[in-house]
Amino acid sequence: MSVPLTLLGLLEREPSHGYDLKRDYDTYFGRGKSLPFGQVYSTLSRLARDGKVVMDEIAAGGGPDRKRYVITDAGATEVNAWLTEPVAAEPHLQSVLFAKVVLALMLDRPAEEYLDTQRRAHLARMRELTEIKRTGGLVDGLLADHGLFHLEADLRWIDTTAARLDALRDQVRS
């Protein structure tokens, strides 16, 4: 997730204070990992330094002054470029799952047990995501679907690898 570009996108929607940006980020993009206030303000500071946002209003409050940020033309151009670029395909050809299986085979450890443990962990996470999908709104449901589809792909890979484990063992030990 690109926090700076996401904040810029939120600012293109409407000028906002840091508190409001954090709230909106957490509501739509921070599921399971909210954005710390310090990161919001340090990111806004860098965006201002780089000419992508400006402050247009400072209001006194009970605490620190509330600064309202507005996106600049340069910031809007960057958001547009980011939105129109395709996201790099993931996962890459190397993964932690693959590395653990190959190392387990190289070290004569039970790779089958690792695959079974990983399968159980994935199935447990799928149950959690299915519950989120069942009880949440549209945003939660779409995010849960994204996670479920990735877990399904991992499970297919685990099954394929388990079926080819003897051949893989022979290859990595030669």
What is the arrangement of strands in the sheet containing 16-17, beginning at the earlier edge strand? 16-17, 66-71, 53-59
H/E element, 69: strand 66-71
Q: Are 129 and 144 in contact (CB under 8 A)?
A: yes
For the chain, the first-to-last Cα distance in angstroms comes to 41
Is the pLDDT score of 166 beyond 90?
yes
Q: Determine the Cα–Cα distance for residues 25 and 10; give it in Å rounded to an integer.
A: 8
Q: Are 69 and 18 in contact (CB under 8 A)?
A: yes
pLDDT tens digits for range 87-146: 776 666 667 888 889 989 988 889 999 999 999 999 999 999 999 999 989 999 999 999
- The confidence band for 63, taking pLDDT boundaries of 50, 70 and 90, is low
For tokens 């921070």, name the residue: 30
Task: Check residue 153 and give its pLDDT.
Answer: 93
How much is the pTM?
Answer: 0.72
Lowest mean pLDDT among 52-56, 65-69, 110-114, 148-152: 65-69
CATH code matching the domain that covers 3-84, chosen among 1.10.150.110, 1.10.10.10, 3.10.105.10, 3.30.70.20: 1.10.10.10
